[in-house]
Chain A
Amino acid sequence: MLRSLRFGVRRLLNKDRAERDLSDEVQHYLEMAAAEHMRRGLSREEAVRAARVAFGGVEAVKEQIRTGGWEAAVESVWRDIRYAWRGMSRHPLFALIVVTTLALGIGANTAMFSVFNAVMLRPLPYHDSSRLTLLWTDDIQRGLHQETTAYATSADWQRENRTFDEIAYFNTARATLGQGEMRQRTRTAFASSNLFHLLGIPALTGRWFTSDDERAAIPVAVISYRLWQQRFAANPDIVGESLQLDDWQGKSDSDAVEIVGVMPQGFYFPDKQTDIWTIASTTYWRWKRESTERFPPWARQWTAIGRLRSGSNISEARDDLARIGERLAQTYQSDTADFPGFAVNIVPLLDTVTGVKLQHALWLLMGAVGLVLLVACANVANLLLARGSARQQECALRRALGATPLRLIRQQFIESLTLAAIAGIAGVLLGAAVVWLLGVTAAQRLPRFDDAAAIDMRVLAFAVGASIASAVVFGLLPAIRVTSADRLRLTRFRGAIVLAECSVAVVVLVAAGLLLRSLAHVRSVDPGFDVTYVLVARVEFPRERLRPSTSTGPSRYGRRRASRPSKRSSRPSLHCRTSKRPGSSTTCSLRVRATSRLPSQARIKEASPPVNCTPLPPRGNTFQRSACLFA
């Protein structure tokens, strides 16, 4: 087959030489045949004529040989494309209208699919993430289906289950890193020693913590890429470094952990704020107390994550854990009133991150843009049919000259494909612009959208598929119709298309209107106080900075802000919560009225002492929250 490829390519590249070879071979054959006839006694002219007669139609044979290889089909298609291009340059307005209509449809679909892909199709950054599930205690009585669990119960799940490869438990807590001037607030995860093995992503540097570390009871930690960059300046010798890790409430003695590994960029668990992972049984300050109890609410703080076995599915896992739950309920009687019981709710990890409602909404939106594309295709089909009545004469002439209907349909279809291809490129560009816009305005509100909202290979493949599908939908029918049907049927067909188009458009418009109204309702829910132009910032500074009259520090800051002229001038208020123990940190909520529209990343400028703010994801409609650290 490679040989056939070589021959075809050679012929495509050097058509003149191929033609000359063909002529020479045929010529030689005829001469030899004529010579043979002359040998048998015919005269020269008679011999030549006899040879030609025996040969058959010279040009017909040559044509057969020319079209014998695969390259002839390629040439034919290329000729059709050039013909389509010429047609478009003759009627540029028509081409422009068609391309614009399709580009809008394809662009909308590309943008929507990009969101869909980023939120739902992309796997979570863990190994084989579709098999990861979260295990919650199901408080059926109170209707709370995602309650945290006691360590002892999750240990029973780990021991007795038959449907999971392994189960790990974890919890997050606020902690302080470092001492003195290098103090930093962070979120820490306390987990079972098999957590990283369950997640399956190898460390960038160093290693995970393992059950050996747990047995040895040495405090170890794995840190995130971001922490490594920010606090340790990507120090290549980070493994083995010691780090001071404190309970942020300062209720226990400080502990030093040894860093054994750094996770790669883009890895996060269970959320993007967690920067350091440690083993719960070794490092968690209240482990001894909490791990023995099963019923009190302060012991039920742990979330379990499990990796399903490759043969099991979720319903089997549910039955399995229900069985364990029943056994536990019979064995242990609760001594606490509000104990939720031992029922279990298993939720796939993706559903927890993105939420089932969001997934449903995305499906709905995908359907809607699909309908929009359908309307665009119907529009274009109509245009093609309108132009088709002029084309019918040309097609009739070509049929009379010997063209097969298939050939004509193919040529029309290639024209449609060319238009769709141009529209596809324009659509992808349009879609990319929309995605960029979404990234700027909505990245914080859509889970999983901010870190990968780009046009990647899958989205491009989708755009190509959409273009081809559009070409088929709008191009095939007019092609068939134009090459065969009579005028009357064309008109009736167009009427049907217009009707269908309008119906679909009305449906989509009504749905859009209803959704907009719902959105307006949600935004106008009254939280009970005036929220316009209010910035809530969390300002944190170590207690040593505060002088005994604690109002001075913050309100000096407050006064500075108040001196700025503002339309709705009201003194900014600062509410601080301090802890009594020395050396601990303070959390303050600073409410500031801004004078102009808030940018999406609010920054507090001209603060004294200077603040270093990192924005937090917004809660609710209009609040902007930041965690600010006094430098």
Chain B
Amino acid sequence: MQLSAYTPLDVQTTLGVPGEEGLIEAQATMTIARSPQVLYDLWRDTSQIPKWQERIVQVSDLGNGRCRWTMFINNDKKLEWDSQVIAEEPSNWIAWRTEEGADIQTAGQVIFEPALNGRGTVVRVTQQFRLPGGKFASFFSAPHLRSPEAYVRENLRHFKQLAETGEIARAQGQPHGKSDMRGEVESILLGEENEVGERSTAA
């Protein structure tokens, strides 16, 4: 199955028809200065995922394309779910979805295309979320947390940073003088407390 941005997606790899009630589609595209091969390998490396996907604390490889995910919401709340790679072509594309009955209902595809202008690889991510309510919906609905669209886009941005520079840009954790309520609220609204789960450690 040849997946491209212009090909209708196989029903197995989606949650439903675009425009359907309760279905959210998010999409992000970035050009990354690495080869499709390198990027495919990095995306499929479960040990690296906590570095570039926000709030993902751990991804365990269960074999046969199945993974168990752990996501940190706050000190009282964690989410866990299993996902399955539905189909993939190395260095080309990957399609995945969460397993039936999981707390998270999401399906997505990532496509790695050599950039026509010679600047690396065009990486296109499309992800669907079903948010009828429940734990995941409340995660996305809190005003200080990312919308699904922002979540997909920022994770791709982190992936690009990791692939190109080896690390994720951060300013959290730096010194500052006495803050005030207004600044703290603004920082939250800016999304600054959304961190990637595992920090690459210095020295």
Indicate whether A and B interact.
no
